């Protein structure tokens, strides 16, 4: 196909994505993945891949900022919209873009949003809680933004307030330049300080380095077992579940590694103590909530740090002598 035709197809892809509610769309050429690990490389999914399309949909901004604040003290909307509407919109747009490219004769494989991981190292994959493709790395490669210290992609338009999806295609679409504007992370450490499960390791000697295209990024090592302890199974009420009435929490061990057995035991124990409410709740990553990139400060409203405020009111049930074991506590809710 001629270059002009490919430019036109790229424009059609972007138009279709935007017609299907995507706020950001970018294209990464395959050469930007030269340093990607073999098993999460686009060509691991489609050997003929020549490009990756990254797309994002923004959160309703006031919903994101106000969740948990005000007299409603509720995160029901953000849970429902994030897990249902926002996710489904991403999949719908990805499916439609995939079909367009197939109709044009290009093999195309859409990637998932989130929700499936290999929890343990697998063959050449050394990391834990690893998805089969990284949408945040694709977003950076496609020029939508850059990494924050928390290892997530920050965009100049919405900061942290969007979700991503990717599509791997054989079509050699016209690539967008990588982001080259003002830095989107000044290492303010709010993400690190806001994380109630102490998942983010910012020690300089532990920082991770990745090369995408010609750029090298450095970000914190994230302990996904600790992150999942709250984000996936709602064991820390201050990160959201207390807004639904869940007073019971279980902290991950202060020292040592979280095991499968420990993770599952804590989950079931918390559910037993917290009752039905534990099944109807949501934890919202505080690292994401509190992150506002320098160019957007004063433009994006900083959410209330309800998590930090409530962390001071813990009543521990376990003495916490053994720092290698989880520790139960209660956050009393008063009118």
Task: Report which of 93, 98, 97 is spatially closest to residue 113, judged by C-alpha positions.
Answer: 93
Strand order in the sheet with 51-58: 24-29, 51-58, 162-169, 108-110
Distance in Å, CB of 63 to other proteins, minimum = 22
Residues forming beta bridges with residue 54, ordered by sequence position: 26, 166
Task: Report which of 206, 201, 194 is spatially closest to residue 240, judged by C-alpha positions.
Answer: 194
Binding mask 70-109 for other proteins (x = CB under 8 A): -----------------xx--xx-xxx-xx--xxxxxxxx
Structure tokens at 132: 């089969």
H or E, element range at 198: none
131 in contact with other proteins (CB under 8 A): yes
Distance CA 48, CA 278 (A): 45
132 in contact with other proteins (CB under 8 A): yes
Distance CA 161, CA 154 (A): 8
Q: Could you identify the residue written with the tokens 């995408």? A: 212
* Cβ-based nearer residue to other proteins, 7 or 99: 99
Distance in Å, CB of 74 to other proteins, minimum = 26
Q: Could you identify the residue written with the tokens 């496609």? A: 142
Among 34, 62, 72, 119, binds other proteins (CB under 8 A): 119
Interacting span for other proteins (CB under 8 A) from 28-36, 128-136, 216-224, 283-291: 128-136
Binding mask 262-291 for other proteins (x = CB under 8 A): -xx---------------------------
Task: Report which of 68, 288, 306 is spatially closest to residue 159, judged by C-alpha positions.
Answer: 288
Interacting span for other proteins (CB under 8 A) from 110-118, 143-151, 175-183, 234-242: 110-118
Distance CA 319, CA 277 (A): 25
43 in contact with other proteins (CB under 8 A): yes
Distance in Å, CB of 228 to other proteins, minimum = 9
Binding mask 158-187 for other proteins (x = CB under 8 A): ------------x-----------------
Contact in structure between 233 and 263 (CB atoms under 8 Å): yes
Distance CA 185, CA 300 (A): 15
* Cβ-based nearer residue to other proteins, 76 or 91: 91
* Cβ-based nearer residue to other proteins, 48 or 247: 48
Distance in Å, CB of 180 to other proteins, minimum = 30
116 in contact with other proteins (CB under 8 A): yes
Distance CA 133, CA 165 (A): 10
Positions that interact with other proteins (CB under 8 A): 38-41, 43-47, 87-88, 91-92, 94-96, 98-99, 102-113, 115-120, 122-123, 131-133, 170, 260-261, 263-264
């Amino acid at each position: 196909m001629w270059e002009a035709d490919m430019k036109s197809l790229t424009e059609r892809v972007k138009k279709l994505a935007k017609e299907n509610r995507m706020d950001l769309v970018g294209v990464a050429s395959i050469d930007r993945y030269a340093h990607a690990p073999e098993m999460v490389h686009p060509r691991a999914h489609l050997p003929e891949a020549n490009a990756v399309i990254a797309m994002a949909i923004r959160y309703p901004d006031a919903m994101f900022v106000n969740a948990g604040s005000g007299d409603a003290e509720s995160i029901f909307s953000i849970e429902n919209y994030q897990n249902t509407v926002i996710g489904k919109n991403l999949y719908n747009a990805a499916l439609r873009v995939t079909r367009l490219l197939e109709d044009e004769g290009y093999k195309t494989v859409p990637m998932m949003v989130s929700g499936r991981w290999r929890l343990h190292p697998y063959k050449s994959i050394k990391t834990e809680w690893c998805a089969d493709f990284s949408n945040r790395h694709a977003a950076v490669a496609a020029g939508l933004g850059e990494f924050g210290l928390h290892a997530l992609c920050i965009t100049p338009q919405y900061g942290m307030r969007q979700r991503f999806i990717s599509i791997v295609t054989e079509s050699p679409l016209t690539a967008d330049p990588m982001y080259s504007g003002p830095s989107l992370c000044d290492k303010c450490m709010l993400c690190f300080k806001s994380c109630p499960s102490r998942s983010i390791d910012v020690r300089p000697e532990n920082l991770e380095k990745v090369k995408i295209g010609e750029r090298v990024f450095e970000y914190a090592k994230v302990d996904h077992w600790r992150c999942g302890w709250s984000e996936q199974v709602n064991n820390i009420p201050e990160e959201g579940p207390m807004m639904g009435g869940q007073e019971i929490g279980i902290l991950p061990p202060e020292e040592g590694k979280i095991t499968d057995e420990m993770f599952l035991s804590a989950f079931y124990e918390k559910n037993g103590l917290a009752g039905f409410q534990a099944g109807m709740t949501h934890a919202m990553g505080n690292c994401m909530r509190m992150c506002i990139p320098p160019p957007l400060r004063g433009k994006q409203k900083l959410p209330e740090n309800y998590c930090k405020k409530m962390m001071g009111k813990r009543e521990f049930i376990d003495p916490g002598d053994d720092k290698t074991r989880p520790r139960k506590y209660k956050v009393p809710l008063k009118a």
